[in-house]
Amino acid sequence: MSEQKKTIDFGFSEVPLEEKVKKVKGVFDSVAGNYDIMNDVMSMGIHRLWKRKTIELSGARSGQKVLDLAGGTGDLTKAFAKRVGQSGQVVLADINESMVRVGRERLIDAGIAGNVDYTITNAEALAFPDNSFDIATIAFGLRNVTNKDKALQELYRVLKPGGQLLVLEFSKVTQPALAKLYDFYSFNILPKMGKFIADDEASYQYLAESIRMHPDQETLKQMMLDAGFDKADYLNMNEGIVALHRGWKY
């Protein structure tokens, strides 16, 4: 099969490989303005606890350099910027200019300045030298990447020896009864909420589908090891609705 004919999942649909980036960009251009309020409504605010746990387990400290990939509207960047202080640096990086713009405005309004940089970059070809960061995170972004293996390899490359990657992502629910309830919510309620709050049912239908197409916990753990990480583990939260994966570069 020629490269031009290869396809990849876009939610439950199949699209030509080269079109996924454009389609994902379209989704996040559409939702950028309402992204934060929808996160609160969709998760009933629990996403804040998931992100707080990510920050705590990162062990970030003064003077460190942090990459917040797929950093979007800046929740993790804001917390990291406070932790690393003015002697440290946080880079909010995202492929989507609309999300970075909203994130930059939010952080400036919150008084976060001086130790935060903003970059438009593709996770599969990061615009940073080898061994650049003490910590890298990607929260709710890896499932939207076309070539996840390449993105994980790139994240490994830009980490310093001794560095840590944290991947916060929706995952496979471990409790069968909850899994059924979660499916009903995802495909019957979530898209309608997207239509009511953001006037965008299709984008939230895609987001629900993309979660189901994402690798499960054990698969992603092995992908991280295959990408070069010397050690990898994960922590299930809320019965696996979300998992926090961690990888170390020695």
In sequence order, what DSSP letters do the residues of 46-98 get, joined into one string? THHHHHHHHHHHHT--TT-EEEEET-TT-HHHHHHHHHH-TTSEEEEEES-HH
- Whether 240 is covered by a domain: the verdict is yes
Q: Which amino acid is at 29?
A: D
Annotated binding site for S-adenosyl-L-methionine: 73, 94, 122-123
Render each residue's pLDDT in the chain as its tens digit; 250 residues: 334 448 777 666 776 777 777 766 666 666 666 666 667 767 778 999 999 999 999 999 999 999 999 998 899 999 999 999 999 999 999 998 888 998 999 999 999 989 999 999 999 999 999 999 999 999 999 998 989 999 999 999 999 999 999 999 999 999 999 999 989 988 898 888 878 777 778 877 887 888 888 999 999 999 999 999 999 999 999 999 999 999 999 9
Global pTM? 0.88
Are 215 and 209 a contacting pair, CB within 8 Å? no
pLDDT score of 211: 86
Beta bridge partners of 246: 166, 233
Angle (CA) 79 55 248, round 5°: 130
- Whether 188 is covered by a domain: the verdict is no
Q: Tell me whether residue 193 is exposed, middle or buried, using C-beta atoms within 10 angstroms of its C-beta: 0 to 12, 13 to 18, 19 or more.
A: middle
DSSP secondary structure letter of residue 140: S
- Rounded Cα distance between 109 and 115, Å, is 15
- Whether 17 is covered by a domain: the verdict is no
Are 169 and 143 a contacting pair, CB within 8 Å? yes
Q: Which domain holds residue 59?
A: 28-173+207-248
Total structural domains within the chain:
1
Annotated binding site: 73, 94, 122-123
Q: Tell me whether residue 5 is exposed, middle or buried, using C-beta atoms within 10 angstroms of its C-beta: 0 to 12, 13 to 18, 19 or more.
A: exposed
DSSP reduced 3-state for 107: helix
Are 128 and 158 a contacting pair, CB within 8 Å? yes
| 54 token code pair | 């990510």
Tell me the CA distances in angstroms from 34 to 41, 73, 177, 188, 241, one per residue in order.
11, 10, 31, 20, 22
pLDDT score of 3: 44
The CATH number of the domain holding residue 120 is 3.40.50.150
- Whether 182 is covered by a domain: the verdict is no
- Whether 228 is covered by a domain: the verdict is yes
Residue with tokens 């939010």, as numbered in its chain? 106
- Whether 216 is covered by a domain: the verdict is yes
pLDDT score of 30: 64
- Whether 199 is covered by a domain: the verdict is no
- Whether 142 is covered by a domain: the verdict is yes
